[in-house]
Amino acid sequence: MKIRLLVIIFLACNISAFSQENTFSLDNKFAAGLGLEFNLDSRNYFAGGFVLAFDYNLNSNYSVGANLTASNNFDGFIVVEPTVMVRHYIWENCHSQIFFIQVDLGALFFREDGEWTPMFEIGLRGGFRMPIRTIYYIEPYGRLGYPFAYGIGIIVGRLF
């Protein structure tokens, strides 16, 4: 496991070493993405969800944004999670914004037996943003928080 982690870190830090130009530019301030998530948002079962994500780079280390996740366990339990986020990109010396840790704050609305119930949500997310060319990215992530237990997902997006 340690060797795999070291290989991933090495490759991430050298991802632009084999190209003629840096693939992740700070000129791209805004990002938007769509994704899929597998989570434990349901009371009794696992759920599948769709993710809509937006973020704005404040500088080379931080970005702010919003996420909207909608999940369903295919047994009548629906969850909608609008959240705001603050993201910190780590290992800036890799010459690209890849690994991140993120704090999510917002609400969680779940529908059970025809009634919507609101709850406060707080979460911690970690992952990496892998640039593709100069304007696209793939972002696998994992998250933990309250009142959900966990989620793992992938977002595909575009930089503007």
pLDDT digits (tens, 9 = 90+) for 105-154: 999 999 988 899 999 999 999 999 998 888 999 999 999 999 998 999 99
Using the structure block, give the residue that is written with the tokens 């500088």: 59
**Pairing label, strands 130-132, 136-146:** antiparallel
d(CA 7, CA 56): 29
For residue 143, give the 3-state DSSP assignment. strand
Domains by residue range for the chain, with CATH: 31-159 (2.40.160.20)
d(CA 84, CA 55): 9
pTM for this prediction: 0.81
Element (H, E) at 29: none
d(CA 30, CA 27): 9
d(CA 147, CA 86): 19
Cα Rg of the chain, angstroms: 17
pLDDT digits (tens, 9 = 90+) for 8-64: 555 555 554 444 444 455 567 899 999 999 999 877 778 999 999 999 999 888 999
Predicted pLDDT of residue 13: 55
